[in-house]
């Protein structure tokens, strides 16, 4: 594993941060005095910044945007410093997140697990394209983690005009320094649970939403505000073995039945169904044969919000009767991670 670089005393000042039209945080104002309000940021807390590449670390090259900035390079670009935490850097990898694999995500989880005794929290700088996959898998690889693990990235590179990178990284460090245990993503002032992160826009700065759950909290005017209670405390552990052999199939109305033959042999298949969930009648026999052959078939929806409700329509009830399993309100990323880790 790469060596941790020496400590950097960060002075992060968000007290004068101005949110523009696209930066405004949702939720109640600070004046509401929510019972879950944070403000536990402690300058003595030591945070490990784990750099993995992504747009946040990119520079323009002859081959397009390419990750080149290391962790210290990211920190040097941060403006307006006021004491929040101490930061050390671990340059774990430098990749476009499209190239990040399950093995890479396990490497991130191991880094957190092995170093959690030396740090009060962790921030992972990551590309946005597969950030939701990483946040979800880290949640399941590190069940009941007793430190904050905060994943962040940006839609524009650090140093680019109008970039969201400085604000996102500062917010993530502030949330990590707040000390609440669990896996989160922090983007544009929103604190998202690792299991509910969803990227819904390929270019906009406000590219992420919290799917099927309100955000866990927000960073506003330099304060960390929690809108949900802290996860219940339990014994943390590291999942060391996963099975990435999960096929995700998006249904189309006229998907050839012959396609299902290639799915035999996969231990698990997630089918993205239409609306509330169900298998088209002309595909039922192919899915039934798949289940009979030992493949576990899970059903989710192609809709961003709402989840699947197999009990509602006849097509859904027929799917349940043949042995398909509803994924309920889970995102595809969360379901994929849970299946890979053997939770489903």
Can you read off the two tokens belonging to residue 48?
């490990």
What pLDDT, in 10s, does the model give residues 246-285? 999 999 999 999 999 999 999 999 999 999 999 999 999 9
29 shares a domain with 175: yes
328: in domain: yes
Residue 313 falls in the annotated catalytic set: yes
Report d(CA 300, CA 249) in Å as an integer: 10
Q: Which of 129, 164, 171, 334 is catalytic?
A: 129
Helix (H) or strand (E) holding 182: strand 182-187
From the candidates 52, 128, 152, 295, which is the catalytic residue? 128
Active-site residue 195, yes or no?
Answer: no
Note the pLDDT of residue 12: 37
Collapse the DSSP code of 282 into the 3-class scheme (helix H, G, I; strand E, B; otherwise coil) and give the result: helix
Whether residues 158 and 211 share a domain: the answer is: yes
Question: Tell me, what CATH number does 266's domain have?
Answer: 3.40.50.40
Domain presence at residue 122 = yes
- Specify whether 296 is located in the same domain as 203: no
- Please determine, for residue 80, whether its predicted confidence score (pLDDT) is greater than 80: no
Measure the CA–CA gap between 179 and 55, rounded to whole angstroms: 27
Domain range enclosing 266: 246-340
Per-residue pLDDT band for 19 (boundaries 50, 70, 90) equals very low
Same-domain pairing of 29 and 149: yes
Interval 181-209: pLDDT, tens: 999 999 999 999 999 999 999 999 999 99
Same domain, 51 and 169: yes
Q: Average pLDDT of the chain? A: 90
What's the pLDDT band for 1 if we cut at 50, 70, 90? confident
- Between CA 29 and CA 51 the distance in angstroms is 33
- The per-residue pLDDT for 6 is 62
**What's the rounded Cα separation, in Å, for the pair 28 and 35?**
12
Give yes or no: 199 in active site: yes
**CA distance readout (Å), 29 to 14, 26, 224, 226, 310:** 16, 9, 12, 12, 39
DSSP code, position 64: E
CATH number for the domain harbouring residue 142 = 3.40.50.1170
Pair (52, 150) in one structural domain = yes
Same domain membership, residue 102 and residue 64: yes
Reply yes or no on whether 128 is catalytic: yes
**Residue 120: how many other CB atoms lie within 10 Å:** 19
Identify the band that residue 34 occupies on the pLDDT scale cut at 50, 70 and 90. very low
- Marked catalytic residue, from 55, 195, 273, 331: 55
Identify whether residues 329 and 220 lie together within a single domain.
Answer: no
Q: Over range 295-319, report the average pLDDT.
A: 97
Per-residue pLDDT band at 3 (split at 50, 70, 90): confident
Last residue of a domain, one of 226, 257, 292: 226
Is the domain of 61 the same as that of 163?
yes
- How many folded domains does the chain comprise? 2
Is residue 298 a part of any domain in this protein? yes
pLDDT digits (tens, 9 = 90+) for 101-127: 999 999 999 999 999 999 999 999 999
5 assigned to active site: no
């Amino acid at each position: 594993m790469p060596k941790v670089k020496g400590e950097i005393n960060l002075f992060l000042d968000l007290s004068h941060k101005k949110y523009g039209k696209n930066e405004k945080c949702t939720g109640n104002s600070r004046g509401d005095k929510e019972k879950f309000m944070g403000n536990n940021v402690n300058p003595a807390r030591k945070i490990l910044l784990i750099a993995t590449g992504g747009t946040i670390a990119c520079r323009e090259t002859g081959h397009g945007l390419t990750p080149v900035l290391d962790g210290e390079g990211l920190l040097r670009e941060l403006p307006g410093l006021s004491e929040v935490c101490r930061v050390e850097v671990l340059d774990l990898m430098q990749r476009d997140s499209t190239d990040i694999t399950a093995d890479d995500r396990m490497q991130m989880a191991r880094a957190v697990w092995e170093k959690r005794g030396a740090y009060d929290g962790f921030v992972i700088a990551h590309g946005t394209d597969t950030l939701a996959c990483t946040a979800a898998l880290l949640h399941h690889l590190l069940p009941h983690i007793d430190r904050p693990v905060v994943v962040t990235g940006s839609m524009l590179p650090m140093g680019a005009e109008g970039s969201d990178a400085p604000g996102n990284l500062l917010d993530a460090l502030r949330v990590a320094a707040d000390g609440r245990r669990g896996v989160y993503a922090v983007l544009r002032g929103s604190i998202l649970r690792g299991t509910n992160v969803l990227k819904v826009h390929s270019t906009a700065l406000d590219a992420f939403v919290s799917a099927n759950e309100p955000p866990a909290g927000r960073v506003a005017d330099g304060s960390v505000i929690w809108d949900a209670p802290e996860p219940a405390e339990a014994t943390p552990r590291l999942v060391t073995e996963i099975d990435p052999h999960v096929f995700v199939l998006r249904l189309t109305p006229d998907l050839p039945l012959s396609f299902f033959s290639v799915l035999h042999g996969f231990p698990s298949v997630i089918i993205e169904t239409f609306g509330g969930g169900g298998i088209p009648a002309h595909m039922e026999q192919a899915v039934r044969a798949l289940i009979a052959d030992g493949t576990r078939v899970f059903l989710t929806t192609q809709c961003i919000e709402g989840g699947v409700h197999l009990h509602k329509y006849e097509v859904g009830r027929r799917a349940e009767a043949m042995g398909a399993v509803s994924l309920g309100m889970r995102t595809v990323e969360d379901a994929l991670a849970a299946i890979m880790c053997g939770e489903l």
